[in-house]
Structure formats: structure tokens, C-alpha cells
Amino acid sequence: MIWLVFAVILVAVLALLLVPLLRPQTAATARLGYDVAVYKDQLAEVARDCERGLLSEEQAAGVRAEIQRRLLAAAETDAQEIPADARRLETGRRLRLVAGMLVLTVVPLGTLLIYGLLGSPDLPGQPYAARLNSPQFQLTAMADRLARHLHSQPDARGYVALGTSYGKLGRWEEAATAFRKAISMGAGDVDIQIALGQALAMANQGTVDADSHAAFVQALRLDPHNPQARFYLGLEQAQLGKVREAIAIWRDLQRDSPPDAPWLGVLKSQIDGAAKEAKLDPSTVPPQAPALDGPPPARPSAPAMLGPQAAMIRQMVDKLAARMAQTPDDFDGWMRLSRSYRVLNELDKAKTAAAKAIALRPKDTAPLLMLAEAQQAAGGENALPDDFVRTMTQVLELDPGNQQALYYVGAAKVKAGDKAGAKVLWEKLLRQLPADAPQRADLSWRIEALGK
């Protein structure tokens, strides 16, 4: 039966290829008849114009003479071209016949040859029913049905199941969305926080970002010994280039793990790899639990530049700096220059350029935030340098709803002992955050820790 189907398909393909090749071609000599018909219509039109009085007899005679001259010229030209056209048609007909014969023989033989070399005639095809019964297909269908059900009847446990299904399918962004909805509906236990953090990290190509950091921190608050959260927070430090801090967190986890813990092999491999990269002895690094207080670790605004790229960027930045010396009123130019110096990690120059932009637009929060970014980066391990706090306070005065300013000024108030002031700012920030924002859990915990 299958060979009959193949034969029908082959005949259809051959027909599609051969019909254009074997279709009769219209002779080019038909152009002579077309030209004669056109000129005859023109002569008849001249006669009608003469009858209507639009042309005098003398004018009509002149037009007729010109049309007749063109008719004779066209006839002579076509008479010369007809033999050449005929020869071209004959040659084309022969070439099409040859091409048709090649198609008729090469296509079937080539098909059989390729199938004989690459095909598997004895291999049974997978039945449609078997494909429907495959685990991947069933899991996808189940997830889609569950998503439709939850759209009309939302349920926390249902969203946990949906997020788990999406994770198994590798649909990490959708998994994170489902886990966030589950958390917003009250299902915020440690396992859900871990699942959310993992989904966010996987959606970010395995990188622990600020959102996944918040989820892992919340998991540790619920279970201070959770191995997954501790591992990922160590991985975050390693990804940020803080190898010693990563090894300290991992050694702390290693120390607390039972001898038969299934993750010990992977953990040891991570510690040894990081130590080798940093060229240090891991035994010299004292174990240290991950920090749960304070903002997430500062992340570089751009990857480090190496080799020719650094030289090229340096040249571009120097040109921009020279131009700004000539055009000091260019606000956008100062912003670009500050951002460029930030990429090069030349923080003093970045702050100077941002200050120039602030002087041009003192009521604009954008240059203030750029200045604050450089100030915080220059503070190193101190997440709340004094100049950074002053700048964020200015931002808050200009934009009382700015979320960054609300958070950091609140953190500064906590540091200064003003818990009441911090609570006011953080509660205002909490009201602005979406219900499924991962930062809500962390911020709520901080507010509760301030007491009444």
C-alpha cells in the first residue's frame, strides 16, 4: 500500500515538472498581426474624426500617410525577424524535450537511490496513536488543559502543578509566572520559593538574578538549612566574580550536609572548580552562611571588556569626552559619557559626567539615578554609601513614588535606627508592587522585622 502512495506522489511531482516544459509556445510572429490590427484601428479612428469635423481633410490625409508608413515599416521588420524567431522556437523546443527526458529519468531514479541509501524500508512508522501516548505530548496537553481550567477557576495548588508541568517541559518563564500566581494566592512555602527561584534562574540562562535571589532568600528565611537555596546563593556569588564568597557559602553547606547527601558530589566539584579558577586553597576559606539582610548584590552594568574591544571603546569614549568639552550644554552627551565611564569602571569620571547632566536638568531624576549607580558601585561592599543615600534622597524628593529610592532610603533609615521612617517608606513601596512580584515576600518580611 505504501508503495502505491509513493507512486502517486511521484507521478504528481513529475506532472508538475513536465507540464511547463512540454507546453506549446506561441510563435513570436503573432506580433505582425497585432501591429496590423492596431494600425487599422488608427486609420478607422482618423476616418471617424474626419466625419465628426475634428480633423480637416488635409489633416486627415497627413495622419493617414504617417500611419501607413509605420504599417509598412513594421511589416518589413517582422519579415526579417520571423526566420530568426522560428529558429529560436525550434531550438527551445528541442531543449525542452531534452529537459523533460532528464526529469522523467533522473527524478525517479534519484528518489529510489536516496531512499535506498538513507531510508529504512523495514522500519515501521510510529503510529499516530503512539505519538499521542508519548509522555511529552501528554504532559503538554495536560498543562494546556490545566491552564484553561485555572483561567476560569484560579487555585493556588493548581498553579503549583501548572508551574511544575511547565518546568518539566522547559517552559521556564511560564513556570515562573505560575509559581508567582500560586504565591500571591497563599502557597508561599519553602518548596514553592525554591521552585520559583530555579524557574527564574533557568529562564535567565542559568544566571541567578535579583528576582531569583529574592526567592532563594525567602526560602532560607522559611528554612535556614535549605540546601538548594544555599547552593544557588553561592552560585550567584560565583557568577558575580566573588569566588571567595561563593566558596565560603558552599563550604558552609558542605559542613552541614550529612555524609550520604546526594548533592555532595556536585557541591565538591563546584568548590574545586571555583578554587582552581581563583588559584586558592579552598581549605583556607572559612565557611560563611549567605547573608539574608541588605539589598541583592550589586551587578555589573555590562560585561568586562578585554583586548581590542577595550581599546576601541576607550577611543570612542575619549572622542565623546573631547566633544563634550566643546559642547558643555549637551545633556544627552553627558549622560552617554557617564554611562560609558561606568562601563569602563572609571567611577569618578562617571560621577563627574553625571553631575554635569544634573546641573543642566536639576529636576530630572534620570541623571540623579545615574550618579547614584556610580556612587553605589564606588562604595564596594558598603551597599549604602553616604553620598549614594544623599542622592537617592534627592530622587525621592523629586519623585516620591520612585521604587528604588523608597527601598534604599528606607534601608538607610533602618541603618540609622529610624525604624518608623523606614516602615513608612517600605509600606508605600509594598503597595506599589504587583501581587505576584517576588520582592513582595522579602519586603514584607523586612517590614514585619521592624516591629510595631
Q: What is the pLDDT of residues 315-359, one digit of tens each?
A: 778 888 999 999 999 998 898 899 888 877 788 999 999 999 999
Q: What is the rounded distance in angstroms from the CA atom of residue 452 to the CA atom of residue 442? A: 18
Greater pLDDT, 106 or 363? 363
Tell me, yes or no, whether 97 and 159 share the same domain.
no
Least confident window among 43-52, 146-155, 286-295, 419-428: 43-52
Least confident window among 34-48, 106-120, 159-173, 406-420: 106-120
Name the 3-class secondary structure at 252.
helix
Greater pLDDT, 28 or 52? 52
Q: What is the rounded distance in angstroms from the CA atom of residue 365 to the CA atom of residue 360? A: 12
Tell me, yes or no, whether 91 and 163 share the same domain.
no
Q: What is the pLDDT of residues 84-123, one digit of tens each?
A: 444 554 555 555 544 555 545 555 555 554 544 444 454 4
Query: Which of 242, 265, 284 marks a domain boundary?
Result: 284
Length of the chain: 452
342 to 45, 302, 305, 364: CA distances (angstroms)? 81, 9, 12, 20
Percentage of residues of the chain with pLDDT beyond 90: 21
Q: In which domain, by residue range, is 182 found?
A: 153-284
The CATH number of whichever domain residue 247 belongs to comes to 1.25.40.10
All cell numbers assigned to 259: 555524609
Structure confidence at residue 305 (pLDDT): 43
Tell me, yes or no, whether 90 and 194 share the same domain.
no
Give a yes or no: residue 29 inside a domain.
yes
Query: Which of 284, 302, 327 marks a domain boundary?
Result: 284
Greater pLDDT, 164 or 25? 164
Q: What is the rounded distance in angstroms from the CA atom of residue 249 to the CA atom of residue 216? A: 14
Number of domains in the chain: 2
- Model pTM score: 0.46
Q: What is the pLDDT of residues 191-231, one digit of tens each?
A: 999 999 999 988 877 788 888 888 999 999 999 999 999 99
Tell me, yes or no, whether 268 and 209 share the same domain.
yes
Give a yes or no: residue 124 inside a domain.
no
Q: At what angle do helices 135-152 and 156-168 cross, to 10 degrees?
A: 150
Give a yes or no: residue 280 inside a domain.
yes
Structure confidence at residue 60 (pLDDT): 60
Query: Which of 247, 269, 284 marks a domain boundary?
Result: 284
Structure confidence at residue 70 (pLDDT): 60
Give a yes or no: residue 372 inside a domain.
no
